[in-house]
Amino acid sequence: MYGFPLDLDLSRLVGQFTTQFCVGAFDLQFSLGDFRFIVQGGLDLYRDGIVVATYRADAWPSHEFYSLLNTEVLSAFFPDDKTLVISFTNGLEARLLETSDQYESCQILVGKNNPTVYIV
C-alpha cells in the first residue's frame, strides 16, 4: 500500500536469528532481534533462486517456512520499494512482498519497548 521504507536501516538484522515464528489465520509473524515482521501480503521463500514455498494470507504456510527458525541472517536489503529480501546462512532467502495498492501487506516493528512501526 505504501511501499517499504527504503530509508530503514536493515544492518542490525545481520547476525540475528529467527527467535519466534507465529502463524495465524490471516498473517504470518516472525522476529529477528529487535525486528518483528507481521505479514498479511506475500512472502516467498527461495533456495538457489527457486521458489520452495509461498505464503499468502488466504492459505496456511507450508512446512518449509519452519526452516527459518533459529537461522542467522546473512544480509537484508530492499531491491525496490515493493520487496524486502532477507538471506539466511542456511541458503534460504525470504522475499517479503507488497501485494496490494488498497490494503496493508506488512508491518515492521523495530525496537522492543515502544517500537517504531512501519506500515507497508
pLDDT tens, position by position, 16-74: 999 888 988 789 999 999 999 999 989 999 999 999 999 988 888 888 998 999 999 99
In a domain, 59, yes or no: yes
The whole-number pLDDT of residue 110 equals: 97
In a domain, 1, yes or no: no
Q: Is residue 74 part of a domain?
A: yes
CATH number at residue 98: 3.20.190
pLDDT value at position 95? 98
Domain that holds residue 82: 11-119
Collapsing DSSP to helix, strand or coil, 12 comes out as helix
Amino acid (one-letter) located at 92 = L
- Number of domains forming the structure of the chain: 1
Residue 1 pLDDT > 80, yes or no? no
**Cell numbers at residue 64, please?**
518449509
Please report whether residue 57 resides in a domain.
yes
- Does 3 reside within a domain? no
pLDDT at 115 (0 to 100): 97
In angstroms, rounded to a whole number, what is the distance separating the alpha carbons of residues 52 and 73?
A: 18
